[in-house]
Amino acid sequence: MGEPDAHPVLGLDDVVHQRVRLGILTIAHEARRVEFGYLRSRLELTAGNLSKHLTVLETAGLVAVEKGYEGKRARTWITLTTAGTAALADEISRLKALIARMEVTQDRR
């Protein structure tokens, strides 16, 4: 996580931290394998918007996108890669560190 006394916000990953992408990663982590339509509806996105965010995550190596068929219907499934799991865990760790700093500050007041 960087230098011991570095502020936790310095290590937040802009690719992971963006609201929609953080949502994609957390849902994929919970589900292990998630269908495109499910992500689109849960995150209230258009198909185009979700596709753009998935491209960013796939390019960064954080998710794998698999296209196939279920019956006659085309489907797209998303899974976290090992790097995606590690990046999500690191982001959550940094967010927890930020929360802990806020709680300490509030306790002093």
pLDDT digits (tens, 9 = 90+) for 25-64: 999 999 999 999 999 999 999 999 999 999 999 999 999 9
Average pLDDT, the chain: 91
Do 98 and 9 touch, CB atoms closer than 8 A? yes
pTM (two decimals): 0.86
Q: How many helices (H) and strands (E) does the chain have?
A: 5, 3
Q: If you average pLDDT over residues 65-76, what whole number do you get?
A: 92
Please tell me the distance from the alpha carbon of residue 94 to that of residue 24, in angstroms, as a whole number: 18
Confidence at residue 71, expressed as pLDDT on a 0 to 100 scale = 87
Q: If you average pLDDT over residues 96-106, what whole number do you get?
A: 84
